[in-house]
Amino acid sequence: MAKLFASVYDTLMGPLEKRWIARVRRKIVSGLEGEILEIGSGTGANFPYYSKGNVDRLVSIEPNPYMLDQARERAEENGLQVEFHKGMAESLPFRDGEFDTVIATLVLCSVKDPNQVFNEMKRVCKKGGRIVLFEHVRTESKSLAALQDFLTPAWKRLCDGCHLNRDTGRYMRESGIEMIKEKKYFKGIFVEYEGKV
Ligand SMILES: C[S@@+](CC[C@H](N)C(=O)[O-])C[C@H]1O[C@@H](n2cnc3c(N)ncnc32)[C@H](O)[C@@H]1O
């Protein structure tokens, strides 16, 4: 499943990327500075949007080796220096306070243990540093949320563990990260979060 998911991911996302997601990526990624950790970087879809002059160090951690191969190619195509690690967000192989910013896009829906992932993000981020996320989440609309609940068991099997109905904002608040931005799109199905550690 990991290989199949990696091979179709960019193609499946293509129409949404063109229509809208690429613009959101540019908006949130182009302003990032300093030492940055990107979690679950997948095929490197965010890489074209980093402002090279502002980035002192860019580190990527991703468990899927097939995604990592594509991300390496994308970094090279974009002339971007990236330090790649194969691993899981639940157990980050980095020191406390190593990064200015930790970013993840469309990842928290798929991790096995969101509480542990937020704890790890907080740990590796400097005091006063930022956690930046763009995620699809459980919507506040009761009828849509019921549909998300219904679809999630099959969706998880098709999309490498992805939950349509995960309340990522709640996990983020419960972790003690201070929420400083929460911008909702499409009835709150997609949300941009920014938190301060
Ligand atoms: C839907 S893809 C998103 C990829 C990329 N971030 C993007 O915006 O296109 C989800 C990614 O999260 C990764 N992932 C899943 N579980 C993870 C975990 N526990 N730790 C880190 N990454 C994980 C997957 O391998 C996959 O690359």
What mean pLDDT is predicted for residues 129-141? 97
Q: What is the CATH classification number for the domain harbouring 41?
A: 3.40.50.150
pLDDT of residue 14: 87
Query: Does the CB atom of residue 48 touch ligand 1 within 6 A?
Result: no
| pLDDT tens per residue across span 106-120 | 999 999 999 999 999
Q: Let me know if residue 160 belongs to a domain.
A: no
Q: Is a pLDDT exceeding 90 seen at residue 35?
A: yes
Residues belonging to the chain: 197
* Domain containing residue 117: 2-138+167-196
Q: Let me know if residue 152 belongs to a domain.
A: no
Cα(40) to centroid of ligand 1, in Å? Answer: 4
Cα(107) to centroid of ligand 1, in Å? Answer: 4
| pLDDT tens per residue across span 39-52 | 999 999 999 999 99
pLDDT of residue 123: 98
Structural domain total, the chain: 1
Query: Does the CB atom of residue 107 touch ligand 1 within 6 A?
Result: yes
Ligand 1 pocket test, pick from 107, 137, 192 with the greatest ligand atom count within 8 Å of Cβ, gives: 107
Encoded amino acid at 45, one letter: A
pLDDT of residue 79: 96
Distance CA 144, CA 183 (A): 19
Q: Let me know if residue 148 belongs to a domain.
A: no
Query: Does the CB atom of residue 124 touch ligand 1 within 6 A?
Result: no
Sequence-separated (6 or more) residues with CB below 8 Å from residue 30 = 49, 50, 51
Cα(95) to centroid of ligand 1, in Å? Answer: 21
Q: Let me know if residue 150 belongs to a domain.
A: no
Q: Let me know if residue 147 belongs to a domain.
A: no
Exposed/middle/buried for residue 161 (C-beta within 10 Å: 0-12, 13-18, 19+): middle
Cα(105) to centroid of ligand 1, in Å? Answer: 8
- Token pair for 142: 């009761």
Distance CA 197, CA 188 (A): 24
Q: Let me know if residue 157 belongs to a domain.
A: no
pLDDT of residue 18: 86
Residue ID of nearest Cα to ligand 1 atom 17: 111
Q: How confident is the model at residue 100 (pLDDT cuts 50, 70, 90)?
A: very high
Q: Let me know if residue 11 belongs to a domain.
A: yes
Distance CA 195, CA 197 (A): 7
| pLDDT tens per residue across span 48-92 | 999 999 999 999 999 999 999 999 999 999 999 999 999 999 999
Cα(122) to centroid of ligand 1, in Å? Answer: 18
